[in-house]
Structure 1
Amino acid sequence: MNNVFTAITNIAKVIDKRVFKNYDEFVIPNDLTQTNLNIQEFCDKIAREEFKSVPSIKAIVTQDDKKTEVLNEDGQYIVSFISIDNMDLLDLGFSVGSIFGVYDKEIEGHSLVAASYVTYGPTFQLVYATQDLGVEFYSFDGDKFIDIKPFKLDNKGKINSTDGDVATFDAKHKALIQSLFDEGYRLRISNSLSLDMHQILFKRGGLYSSPKTSKDPNGTFDLVFEAYPIAYIIELAGGEAIDGINNISDLKIDGDISKKTPIYFGSKYEIGKVKQS
């Protein structure tokens, strides 16, 4: 797994240098859609080339096309990859991130053996999680990633991050969110999943919620590319991730790599409140 970690750090460094420090190279004047497409294609190419150099990686599947591409026939792992987790924020200069999931032989929640996310922008940092290491936090020093400290959540946090179209929230979810505010929780939402995850971890707890709604009854997040890796990291940090009732890691994709889910993740006190709501 050391080679997989090295590949992820190499991909992150290229994306940070080329996309975030030289964004104008990709810009097509007055065409944000094509600009974003150019960036996606560049990031996917970098990931594909880097992971192909790791013999243990059998295949890669990107959120952009959701097609499994075999890189090494004799490999063992399948890597899911989100290049930029909210491309629409790039031209605004906001912080965004990449998300990786490393699956052993098949893509299911309990097949994950590692997960990682990267934050770009004012802070260039990386979180990498495995059963052996726990949740490791690295910061870039201008040359390499330096291991800072492991992340561990407290039983109760102070962050209340809720995502989605508020007008479509049902009464139960509105009551849950209000109850947290009544307890003194602070609203924090960036609209970048990796950054919102980072806040929960960095502040040692809280709740992120993206419920099912009348508009999106199946939720809005991809199980494979977003929910599974996030759940893996959160659980190793001592928290929980659920779809409102069931553990995210227990959900099955049933052959549908595009399957969506609601998601609630955070420290155990807040997830307890979700279960009771």
Structure 2
Amino acid sequence: MGKLKELSAFENLVVAHTIQDFYTPNIKAEVILDMLLTPYIPAIIEAATGQKATLITKEMSIGYAKGNEIQEDNNRGKKVDYVVMTKENVLFVELKTTQGSLESAQIETYRKWIDKDNPKKGTDLLHLLCRILKIKYMPEKEHPYTILKSYLSKKLTKNSIHRKAVCTEVVRDRLVEDTHAYQKKNYIHGTEKYLHTIACILQNTNPEDWEKDIKIIYISPSGANTADIQDITFKWIIKNIDCPVLKDLKESVCYNHILVPLFSQDSQGDTE
């Protein structure tokens, strides 16, 4: 009974601070909903696309648009909230809590990734990561997945995190765990934080997965409302996804303070 009371007290504390942070200037509401929605992102995407979905990683750099090309930004620029893999596409999934946060510059960067005249594939995202990390290799001859595998393997092996190379399945299954051990052991800063991203990529995908075309999905109150970006609205999620967290919120004080204001902006209520 004591533990239940402690849990209830903790939950009440989370609710109180969630409401307070949502209305506090300069605190991004996306962070609050991101914490709640992350475990359900695969289910949301599967329901919206009709394809099995795997969440690969979060907060991955997508560079910035310069002419017809995507340039690296040395870890200081646009990040995509979620990178999700389906049978047909590599998905950039962006979470927005207000229509006002739909930045035109960000949308233009996304459009460069799906430009019909010069469409990018998942491999281009991996090439971008290699450039951010300043890895020297021959992009025309070497697959970026292989380069990233070698890069991470050297980091982990050098620090005695594991004895074997990354290529074995046994080690691959614990890549994220081993990388976290490396990060705890060493002072990690700057682009080395991307080691976690690399581990997620290697543990959850194969090289051929990244040959797919890129597609953009926005999760927001009313959508980006552009022909080349698929929209998923909050109302649609509540209606179509078995998401206990959001259902619990609907019964709590958080619903009135957070979700209702968000949903009141939603004029569509559909995925498209």
TM-score normalised over the length of structure 1: 0.29
Structure with greater proportional strand content: 1
> Who wins on radius of gyration, i.e. which is larger?
2
Indicate the structure whose relative CO is greater, using CA pairs within 8 Å and at least 6 residues apart: 2
TM-score normalised over the length of structure 2: 0.29
